Amino acid sequence: MTQDFYQTLGVSRDASADDIKKAYRKLAMQYHPDRNDGSKQAEEQFKDVSEAYDVLRDPQKRAAYDRFGMAGLKGGAAGGYGFHPFDLSEALSMFMRDFGNMGGFDAFFGGGQRGRRARQRGQDIRVSLRLSLEDIAHGTTRKIKLKTLQQCKRCEGSGAESSSSTRACQTCGGVGEVRRAQQSLFGQLVSVTTCPSCNGDGTVISQPCEECRGDGRVRAESVVDIEVPPGVARENYLTLRGKGAAGPRNGPPGDLLVELELEDDPRFERHGDDLIYNLQVAFSQAALGAEFTVPTPYGDEKIDVPPGTQSGTILSRHGKGLPNLNSGKRGTLHVHVQVWTPAKLTPELRELFERLSGLEGDPPEEDSIGRRIWNRMKEAFGA
C-alpha cells in the first residue's frame, strides 16, 4: 500500500513548512535507531518519516506530489525518475544535517560518539527538454549529453594520490566537527562547528591526486537517458536522483532536474487530457453529410459529419485525447465543426445558390445557430 506522506507525518495537507519540520523532528527522534535498540520496525518507521519529510519540505516535490501523488515523483513509468525509498544511511544523513548541530543533541541519544560528518553533496543540474504532442501522448526516452563534474578515475574520487597519503584529521580526530563546551546560567552549552582543518571531511591529504588536485572530481562528458512518461503537462518536471554533479572526495552526487517545455501544436487546443480540433466544413457538406479525416496524436481518424450538421456542433472521440499521468486513461478528442461560406461566388455557384434559396423553407428561429448561418448565406449571396 502506498503511504500518504501527510498521514505519515501526522499533518494536514495545508500544513506550513514549519509544521512539517516540527512533526518530522518529533517522529524522527521517536523512531531514531539509537533510541530503539536496533528495532527493525522502528528503523522502517524512521525511514518512512524521513522519506515523507524529504518530499514535503521541498516546494517543487510537494507541488508535484499534491497534484499527481507518487506518479508526480516516479512518473508512473518503469524505473521512475530515480526516486526510491530512503535507505537508512540517507535517512540518518538528512536527520543529522537538519538537526545534528543543535547544542547537547548527542547527549539526547546517550553518547556523543557520532560518526564523521556527512560528505558534501554534489550540485544539482537543471536542463530543459522540448516535447512534441506525440511525445506527450506516447511517452519518450531522450538521450542528452552533460558536461559535469564526475568522479576522478585516477584516485577513484578520494582526492589522494595513494591511500597512504590520506590520514585522519588531528584537529577533529576524524569526526569533521569541532565541539566547544561552556558553562552558563542554564548549564552546559555545546557548540558544534565544521572543522577548519579538514572542512568537515574528517581526513586530510598529504599528497593530492595529480589529475583532480585533491578534489576527487574532474569535468567530463556523459550521456544520460531521460524517460518521459505519457501524459506530462507544462508544469511537470522530472527529477533523476543521483544524476547530477559528483560530490567532492566521494561525496554523494546531486540530482538532475529536467524542466519540460511543451511545444504548441497548431492543430489542437489542449484542455487537461482533452484535445479540441477545429474542422472546417463546406455548407454543402454540412447539409448533405460527409466523411472527413482528422488528425489525432495516434494517427489519422475517419469521422462522419451527419447530414444537417450545424456550425458549432461538437463530435467527440473518446480515447483519442492525451493519457492521464496518474491513471494512464486517455482523454477525449472533441471535433468542433465550423461551417464556412465562400467569400466569392462564381457565376455558376451564384445561380445554384439562387435556385437553392427559392427551394428552401422558412429559416430557423432567431438566435439559433442555423439562423446565424442563414443570415451569413444571405449576405454572401447578396440576397
What CA–CA distance (Å, rounded) separates 13 from 18?
13
Q: Identify the weakest region by mean pLDDT among 24-33, 218-227, 283-292, 364-373.
A: 364-373
Element (H, E) at 61: helix 59-68
Cβ–Cβ < 8 Å for 130, 263: yes
Q: Identify the weakest region by mean pLDDT among 49-53, 71-75, 145-149, 234-238.
A: 71-75
What CA–CA distance (Å, rounded) separates 280 from 338?
5
Nearest C-alpha neighbor of 27 from the set 60, 56, 1: 56
Q: Identify the weakest region by mean pLDDT among 17-26, 90-99, 107-116, 270-279.
A: 107-116
Q: Is 238 helix (H, G, I), strand (E, B) or coil?
A: strand
| pLDDT tens-place string over residues 49-106 | 999 998 999 888 888 888 777 776 765 433 334 445 566 767 777 777 676 544 444 4
What CA–CA distance (Å, rounded) separates 297 from 321?
7
Alpha carbon 133 to chain centroid, angstroms? 18
Q: Is 329 helix (H, G, I), strand (E, B) or coil?
A: coil
Residue-level pLDDT at 383: 46
Residue-level pLDDT at 110: 42
DSSP conformation class of 165: G
Q: Is 247 helix (H, G, I), strand (E, B) or coil?
A: strand
Residue 111 banded pLDDT, cuts 50, 70, 90? very low
What CA–CA distance (Å, rounded) separates 314 from 334?
6
Residue 169 banded pLDDT, cuts 50, 70, 90? confident
Q: Is the pLDDT of residue 286 over 60?
A: yes
Give the global pTM: 0.58
| pLDDT tens-place string over residues 296-335 | 999 999 999 999 999 999 999 999 999 998 888 999 999 9
Which residue segments constitute the domains of the chain, with CATH numbers given? 1-102 (1.10.287.110), 269-381 (2.60.260.20)
Element (H, E) at 52: helix 40-56
**Angle between helix 40-56 and 17-31 (nearest 10):** 170
Q: Identify the weakest region by mean pLDDT among 126-135, 199-208, 240-249, 353-362.
A: 353-362
DSSP conformation class of 324: P
Nearest C-alpha neighbor of 374 from the set 364, 200, 228: 364
What CA–CA distance (Å, rounded) separates 347 from 350?
5
Residue-level pLDDT at 270: 94
What CA–CA distance (Å, rounded) separates 236 from 249?
33
Residue-level pLDDT at 337: 97
What CA–CA distance (Å, rounded) separates 76 from 275?
22
In sequence order, what are the residues at sequence separation of 6 or more whose Cβ sits closer than 8 angstroms to the Cβ of residue 309?
A: 281, 286, 289, 337, 339
In sequence order, what are the residues at sequence separation of 6 or more whose Cβ sits closer than 8 angstroms to the Cβ of residue 144?
A: 127, 129, 223, 224, 226
In the chain, what is the straight-line distance between the N-terminal and C-terminal CA atoms, in Å? 70
Element (H, E) at 168: strand 166-168
CA angle 77, 254, 262 (to 5 degrees): 45
Measured CA distances, 258 to 8, 123, 235, 262, 312 (Å): 28, 14, 11, 12, 40
Cβ–Cβ < 8 Å for 257, 124: yes
Residue-level pLDDT at 103: 42
What CA–CA distance (Å, rounded) separates 116 from 175?
4
Residue-level pLDDT at 178: 84
DSSP conformation class of 82: S
Phi, psi of 192 (to 5 degrees): -120, 125
